[in-house]
Every structure is written in structure tokens, then in C-alpha cells.
Structure 1
Amino acid sequence: MYVVIVGAGEVGSTIAASLADTHEVAVIDIDGQRVEELMYETDILGVAGDGADLETLEDANVRNADILIASTDDDETNIVTCGTANTVTDVFTISRVKSAKFLRTWQQSSRAFGVDHMVATNLLTAETISRVVGMPAAHDVETFADGTVQMAEFEIPAESPIAGQTVREADRYESLTFAALIRGDDVVIPTGETELRPADDVVVIGSPESVHTFANEISPGVEGVRNVLVVGGSDIGYHTARLLQERGLKPRLIERDHDRARELAEDLPGTTVLESDATDREFLEREHVEDVDIVVSTLDNDEKNLLASLLAKRLGAERAVAVVDSGEYVKLFEAVGVDVAVNPREATAEEITRFTREHQAENVAIIESDRAEVLEIEIDGDSTLADRPIRESVANLPEGVVIGAITRDGELVIPRGDTVIERGDHVVVFVDTDVLEAASSQL
């Protein structure tokens, strides 16, 4: 597949790096030096120029592209780029936008703006936060097979009851698979004797009930979130509160600006909007921040989000989720006490990469910025897994592949060594990115 990416910033560069190993990729950016750097780092074709200009798109051979991804930081430029490409070719176009207003317009009209698929960064970030709030001990949560299967990634705290146990000792769940451990720079495929160490990230796949039970055991007392405080009435803050309302929660939201606070109060009837400064210690104490299960910081810059998160936790809030605009700060935020740092650009890059890969799979989740993937695949006659016991078929797959779950006619089937995978089954598979290409050809 040939993919043209317009925009070599954090989003475009991440997508290019994710796709370059398995597809032909061209990247266009107005910054020639950035294009040269990306060509040096990644096996791509680089084109310096304006991606909204037809001549530049022609230089990138857009007529032969299968997918065009417009991923600059400017919404209008991305939309115009897709429309320009459609004047000369029927390439499938994907546009990144920050504001959901363009998404709403696009959803109301088939192929509006000449865009085939649109990803709204602010809404996507809010959805990511909402999933984490639903399972607050997790760093990442995704669903597969129409909700029958769930994948979650957890960091093992030093005080966790399972820290120091082997996988066999910790595996007390009938419908849960310990798919992998992310240990430093390594992806470890565990056996029964693998020790679960503090600070390991463990990826589990199974029924939603078993994943939630495991979440409660890995961090006792974290489940049962009811009291959520959203800091900042930004677009991300608004969508986060709205999504939490839809789940039956009654969040509180702090917004400093009088006019914006009033607007939010009118638009969010299920949310208590408080007009104040989220870094005002006395105000937070009056609002009993010590009773908050999760504080979500969605202010307009990283420094404010870090300050608000750490202050709330210092005053007694149980956990903190913060939006981090600079990807390089994510690990720093989590190192100094923020429980989950959500980077909108990273979330957007993962969503677009996921969509491009869903041409080969039913659903895709990307783990740890493309260290691994979880794929949902419908089994046909060409698959190595078809009509064979798992023990036999896995022996023919590269090391780094784990069968996490199976659904058959909408029902969960627990994978065991003697389980025979049938044609038409949906299989959820963990795959180390290093063996993704080899595994995909067999799955």
C-alpha cells in the first residue's frame, strides 16, 4: 500500500514511522529540514513543499497513492489538502482536525470536504480519558468483538498484591490471558514462571468482567470511581465532562473564565460547573478535593496541567489524569506523580495508524507508541490458525505472538492449548511489532 502523509510534525512523523516498515510512505512538509531529518530516520520518500498545493502532491505521486493522510496542525489546511487531492485522484483521504465542529459537519454529509475519514483530536483525547476513568488503574483500555473482549494495560505498583508473584500464581481468572509484559525497553512474552515485577506494564486480554476484577486486584480500592473533577473548560474538558455524563456520572468542572463557565453550565446540565482558579488551594479545600477519586486536568498548557494535577493529589485526590501537549513530557509527568498522561498528538497518530491497518484487521489497538499491537482478526481458510488446535498453530507463528481471546457467534471462547479455532471465529491477538509483518502474513 502506498501512503502519502502531509505534515511531518509529531503526528505525521509517528504515523510514518509506524507504517514505513510494511508500506511505501511519502511525507510532505513545508519545512525542508524536517523532511530531510525524517528521511534520515525513516525509510520514506520526502517532499518539501505545501501539501495543499496540487503541484506538491503531484511531486509525491499522489495519483498512485492508496491513502492520503493530512496531519498538519491546521484544520483548514488538512481539509483543503484532502479536497485538492480529490481533484486529480480518488485516493482515500483522512483528515486530522482539532475541533469537533468540522467532524459534526462531515458526519452530516457523505464525504463532505472531500474527506473519507476524519479524526477529531480533542474528541479523541476526551474519549481516551473517559476510558481510563472507567478503569482508573489502567493506562490504556480498548474493546474488541463488539464489547465481548477487553484489552487493558496496567503498571504494577510496588505495593500491589501481585508484585513478585509468578504469572501462574497471579492467574486466578478463567477468562483472562496475560498477553505480555512491557519491561523497560523489552516486550516480554510471559510463561507461567515469569515473575511480575514492580514497574512492569502488564497487558491482559479477556472478558470485561475478568479485566475489571484484575484491575481491582492489581490496585485494591481504585475501582468504583464516582467523584470526578475536571479542571479546565477547554474543548477537551467539555467533551470529557459530556462523555462522563453519558456514563451516568455527575462530574464537577472548574473554569476560570466567567463567560466560558456560563456557556459550559448551559451545555452540560449533568455537570456542576465551578467558576474559579484550579490552583487556588483554599477553593480546592472548600470543594473537598480530598474526596475526589480522579482529577482530570485539561488546561491550555502543560505546566498548568502539571501544577493542577500535583496540587490536587497533594490535597488528597486519589488519582490524576493530565493532558500533555508535548509528547516528550509524558514520561516526566508520570515520573513525578501524574498517574496517566494523555498526549493528544500521540492519541491521534495511533488512531490514524489503527484505521489504516484495519484494512487487514477488524480492529487494532497500538501498545506503548507502537511497541506492540493487539489485533482482532476474522479467521478464514488461509489463516495458519484455521481448523487447528492453538498449541499446534502457535508453534508455526513467530515468537512474540499470543492468542488472547476468541469469540464464536458472539460468545467468548477461552483459548487453551487444545482449543480448535474455526473459520469465522474472531481472534484477538497480541503481536510484538518486531514480528508484525511476518505474523500478519500467516494470521
Structure 2
Amino acid sequence: MKILILGAGQVGTSVATSLASENNDITVVDTDHQRLRDLAEKLDIRTVVGHASLPSVLAQAGAEEAELLVAVTSSDEVNLIACQVAQHQFRTPTRVARLREAQYLDVAGLADPGHSAVSAAISPEQLVCRHVERLIEFPGALQVLDFAEGRAQLVAVRAVPGGALVGHELRTLREHLPPGVDARVAAIFRDGRPVKPEASTVIEVDDEVFFLADRRNILTVMSELRRLVSRPVRRILIAGGGNIGRNLARNLESRYSVKVLERSRERARGIAEDLLNSIVLVGDCADEDLLREENIDQTDVYCAMTNDDEANILSAMLAKRLGCPRVISLINRPSYAELVEGGPIDIAVSPQLVTLGALLAHIREGAPATVHSLRRGAAEAIEAVARGDRRTSRVIGRALEELELPANTIIGGIVRGDKLLIAHHDLVVEADDHVILFVMDKGEMARVSALFQTGATWL
């Protein structure tokens, strides 16, 4: 597939890196010569220097032959104009834009997709807010990922001493669960390396375990891998009143007691007018005395959501040292996130990886319904919809044990209607089933996508 990526920032680089290994012809456009040079040295891609919205630059980049345009520059206006030029002048079939401004998102969402300049709009701020909300809702989870519009969830937890399943084989999982509750361990990462879950696999302390279950049963399954937090979440302190911090507070304030800490007095005044039930404070999130005054030791979750990685890391570590049981930090640099997560900071949230999954769902060939990037992009969880019938599909009418899956790909379950069916070897795939797969080797994505594509006949 010929793909044109506008913007070589962190999101654009993540998209290019993910797609370059999948036999795609990729061109990246940016105004920064050095950034493009560094990217070209790492990846087998073409680069073009120039303003992404100019017709001449898009023509030079090959927009006329491109099947897909991904506009992820730092400017909403540039992204929108580039999509409009690509549609009207170059007839680019699919145009995906990253948009930060909510008003632009409203316009893009209300427009007729068949005539809109933007085929799909992605908001990093909204995606990050939703991601953090899930982490707060399920204390102890490292990731909480929705499939089939929330009917099933994939949850990552770290196995700790005292968990009922720790030290036991996976085959005993059902013995520990109440009647009517089922789950499937989709993957295990041990010391950063994948361990394929077999019936005889023994879960060890500090294993990162991904399991799939019905949303209503998540807490029950989590209790088998770790002791659940005895203190329910009531009080939340959010450091940073930017788009993410403000939206997060707005989404949480009806269910929790929320405080927002913002350094700028003027911005804090605007946030206070915007929020209904939250308390807005003016101050530095790294001020130890201020955190003590606000009873950080009685706060259940501290969320460092400023636009400064160093400030987020330091304030989260300080909040943890002062007695806050759970701290979540927004960290843009992937190297920083890998360095600090699992230490004093419980969870490092990467906006680039959260956004990458949403982008891949729109741009990946075969168009999976949902894509989640895992383990800093090393693995993916995808939701593929079975289309066609037994004659035109490689999966419909076949039991899971009959499917020709790559070695490092595991099916966790199938969502059929409103019900999650946990994967077992004799489960038969039906038309319109939402199949949830865990792909531990991204090099296998082409084979997985091909498996769910329909043909004239596969018999």
C-alpha cells in the first residue's frame, strides 16, 4: 500500500515505524530536515521536505498515487487543509487526520464521510482521557482495552505475591473463578519477553499478564492475579490543566472528588469556570509543601498530566514518596516511559502509543475494527470482523483449531451479538463475529490480516 504520512513528530514516527515493517511504500513529509534524515536512516522510507498542506509538496510526495494519507502534523489547520487538497486535487481515497480542537472534531464527525475532506478524525486528548479513566476505574490494572464497543475488555495486570493463581498452571484458572465467569489469558510477558500461554504455563511473580473477559467480570479475574486494592478510589488529584487534564477532570468529577492543580493563574480561572464540581488550585505540582497541604497521602490516585515529561515524572515520584498509593504519569518520550514504569511510578501513559492504535484501525490493510498497541509497540491486540460466508472466508464455519494462525498469534475470544465467547479449540466462527486476537510478533500482521480478508472463493 502507498501511504503518505504528513508530520515526522512522535506520532508520525510511530506510525511510520509500525507500517514500514509491513511491506508498505511510505513517504513522510515534514519541514524539519534533520528529523527526516534521522528517520530515513532508521527506516526504508522516502522523505520530502516542505509544508504538508501545499499542493506542490503533496504532488512531490506522490499524493496522486497514494492510497492513504495520514495527516499528523502539530497543526489542526494544516492537517485539515492537507486532507482537503488530497481529496479534491489528488483524489486520495482515504484521509486520516489528527485533530486536537474539539470544535474541529465536531465538524469532522457531523460531516458526510462520503463527501468530507477527512475520512476519519483522531483526537489524542480524548483517547488519552478515556485510557486514564479506565485505569482509574480498575485499580491495579496496567492497561484496560475495549473491544466490540466495550462488550469485552483486555486487561493487563502485574502478578504479585498473594494472588490465588500465582505459582499455579493456567489450566487451574477456571477452578478459581465463580460459576458462570470465564476468562482467557491471552499473553504473558516475563522480564520484557513474551511467554506463550499454554495450559501448563505457570504464572510467576512480576509477570505482566493480559487476560480477556466480559467487562462485568474484570475485577473478579483480577483478584486471582493480585490482591485488589482495599481502599476504593474516591479522591483524585490531577496535575496540569491543559486539554487532557481539563477533559479528564470534566469526565471524572461526577463520580469522584477531583482536584486540579494548575501553575498558570489565568488558566486556572478558566478551568474553574468550565468545571462544575472540581476544586482548582494554583501552584507548582513539584511543590512538596503544597502537596502535603492538599493531603496527598489521603489522595487515592495522582495523575501527572502536564505537557512537561520531567515535571510529570518528578511530581509523580514525589507524590508516591509522600504517601499516594497510586500514581499515573503522562510521558511523551518512550525511553522515559520504559525507564520509570514499574518503579515509583505505577503507570506511564504514552500518548503516541494510545493514538497509534486508533490510527492503525483506520489505516491498516484489511481495516480491523479495533487495534491496540501493546508493550511499547512490540505487540498488538486486534479485533477482526469475520465477513462473508464459508465459501468466501477462510475463517467462517471453521473451528478455532482449524484456523491457520501464525505461531505467535493467539485468539482470546469472540464477541457474538452482546455475548463474549472465550476461545476454546472447538469454538466455530460465524459470520459477523468479532474475533479478538493477540499478535505478539508484529511481523505476522500481514498473515493475520490476510486470514480475515474475503475472496471470490477459498474452497
TM-score, L = length of structure 2: 0.88
2:230 aligned with 1:227:
no
Who is 1:58 aligned against? 59
**3-state SS in 1 of match to 2:384:** strand
Percent of matched pairs sharing the same residue: 29
Q: Which runs of 5+ in 2 are unaligned?
A: 453-459
Alignment of 1:41-440 (within 5 A): 41-91=42-92, 92-110=94-112, 114-157=117-160, 160-170=163-173, 172-173=176-177, 174-222=181-229, 224-245=232-253, 248-357=255-364, 359-379=366-386, 380=388, 381=390, 382-391=392-401, 393-394=402-403, 396-432=404-440, 433-440=442-449
8 Å contact from structure 1 (residues 99, 122) kept in 2? no
Instruction: Please list the CA deviations of residues 334-367 of structure 1 after superposition, one character each: whole Å capped at 9, or x if unmatched.
Output: 1541111112233223321232138532222222
**Aligned pair in 2 of structure 1 residues 54, 342: CA closer, same or farther (>3 Å)?**
same
Cα deviation for residue 185 of structure 1 reads 4.8
8 Å contact from structure 2 (residues 301, 326) kept in 1? yes
**Aligned pair in 2 of structure 1 residues 410, 108: CA closer, same or farther (>3 Å)?**
closer
Cα deviation for residue 161 of structure 1 reads 4.9
Instruction: Please list the CA deviations of residues 259-311 of structure 1 after superposition, one character each: whole Å capped at 9, or x if unmatched.
Output: 32222122110222233433333333333221222100112312221222112
CA separation in 2, counterparts of 1:155 and 1:321? 15
8 Å contact from structure 1 (residues 350, 369) kept in 2? no
8 Å contact from structure 2 (residues 260, 281) kept in 1? yes
Instruction: Please list the CA deviations of residues 190-225 of structure 1 after superposition, one character each: whole Å capped at 9, or x if unmatched.
Output: 112222233332111121133222224433233732
May I ask how many residue pairs the two structures share in their alignment?
A: 440
**Aligned pair in 2 of structure 1 residues 351, 420: CA closer, same or farther (>3 Å)?**
closer
**Aligned pair in 2 of structure 1 residues 4, 422: CA closer, same or farther (>3 Å)?**
same
Cα deviation for residue 254 of structure 1 reads 1.8
**3-state SS in 2 of match to 1:118:** strand
Cα deviation for residue 134 of structure 1 reads 1.6
**3-state SS in 1 of match to 2:335:** helix
**Aligned pair in 2 of structure 1 residues 385, 31: CA closer, same or farther (>3 Å)?**
same
Q: Which runs of 5+ in 1 are unaligned?
A: none
**Aligned pair in 2 of structure 1 residues 269, 168: CA closer, same or farther (>3 Å)?**
same
CA separation in 2, counterparts of 1:383 and 1:136? 40
8 Å contact from structure 1 (residues 358, 364) kept in 2? no
**Aligned pair in 2 of structure 1 residues 32, 319: CA closer, same or farther (>3 Å)?**
same
8 Å contact from structure 2 (residues 161, 226) kept in 1? no
CA separation in 1, counterparts of 2:46 and 2:304? 39
Aligned partner letter, 2:451: Q
Kindly report the root-mean-square deviation, in angstroms, between the aligned alpha carbons of the 2 structures. 2.5
Cα deviation for residue 158 of structure 1 reads 5.4
Cα deviation for residue 420 of structure 1 reads 2.2
CA separation in 2, counterparts of 1:245 and 1:104? 23
CA separation in 2, counterparts of 1:253 and 1:102? 26
2:36 aligned with 1:29:
no
Aligned partner letter, 1:315: L
Cα deviation for residue 5 of structure 1 reads 0.3
CA separation in 1, counterparts of 2:353 and 2:416? 33
**Aligned pair in 2 of structure 1 residues 328, 157: CA closer, same or farther (>3 Å)?**
same
Who is 1:10 aligned against? 10
8 Å contact from structure 2 (residues 414, 421) kept in 1? yes
CA separation in 2, counterparts of 1:105 and 1:385? 38
CA separation in 2, counterparts of 1:244 and 1:49? 41
Aligned partner letter, 2:18: S
8 Å contact from structure 2 (residues 365, 449) kept in 1? no
TM-score, L = length of structure 1: 0.91
**Aligned pair in 2 of structure 1 residues 62, 124: CA closer, same or farther (>3 Å)?**
same
CA separation in 1, counterparts of 2:123 and 2:370? 19
Cα deviation for residue 313 of structure 1 reads 1.2
CA separation in 1, counterparts of 2:448 and 2:111? 38
**3-state SS in 1 of match to 2:237:** strand
**3-state SS in 2 of match to 1:229:** strand
Cα deviation for residue 404 of structure 1 reads 0.9
